[in-house]
A and B are shown apart, each in its own frame.
Chain A
């Protein structure tokens, strides 16, 4: 029973990492000059299920953080300092609407796992009650 708390706890950690990634995407939606001098690329988290020692279900974790392969929009803006020789500016491939949808999904998953944790705590309390006279 206690292990189920850790299972849902792992999901909270994973979803929180996802929320951080979404925040970073939104914050850098207009960043044409990243740390490497190139425009910001949307980051995505990849989840995978954890197997516990006995080979059973153990929750979820972030397997890796990857850069989205979605094409980056290019606009004609010759006056911009980061525009190329032809006057085209490459923008981050961040779509705010997509990010908000992901944000909603991540929040909902977070809440569902909290509900599961509370249920687990309740069940454990009931199990302890069995021993009480």
Chain B
């Protein structure tokens, strides 16, 4: 594993990135199946799980890192409020908006992870380039 993520904070950051990336794929599939008869959109809520892992890590000692469970990234099918005549339940506007939200979240976490990496690198190289 990348040394950048071998700390407790790093593990949570990595969990967030994995969750957001997996969720992008679920939303992408919702959009791809915009016109598929009978198709119901899915979501991938992982925040609760990640919060629980973070709490477990911050509460436990150094060994908590290796025993922390991985995120289970299972998509959940949603019950749509409105169905079109062919049974499709995808709301295009909602999908586009939450795809955008998800990607902004990814950019924010990735940026924070990158800045953290730079700080670590600066510390390791004692400020030399």
Contact = CB atoms under 8 A, between A and B. Distances in A.
A41 B90 CA distance: 29
A22 interface: no
Interface string A119-133: 110110011011011
B111 to A, nearest CB: 8
Contacts of B106: 123, 126
Chain B binding surface, main DSSP class: helix
B33 A60 contact: yes
B114 A119 contact: no
A56 B75 contact: yes
A3 B24 CA distance: 10
A48 interface: yes
B25 A7 contact: yes
B32 interface: yes
Given A4-B28, A57-B42, A106-B35, A123 B96 contact: no
Interface residues of A, number: 37
A57 B29 contact: yes
Contacts of A4: 24-25, 28-29
A56 B22 CA distance: 11
Interface in A68-117: 105-106, 108-109, 112-113, 115-116
A11 B34 contact: yes
Contacts of A3: 25
Contact of A60 (B32, B42, B113, B118): B32
Interface string B16-39: 010001001111110111111101
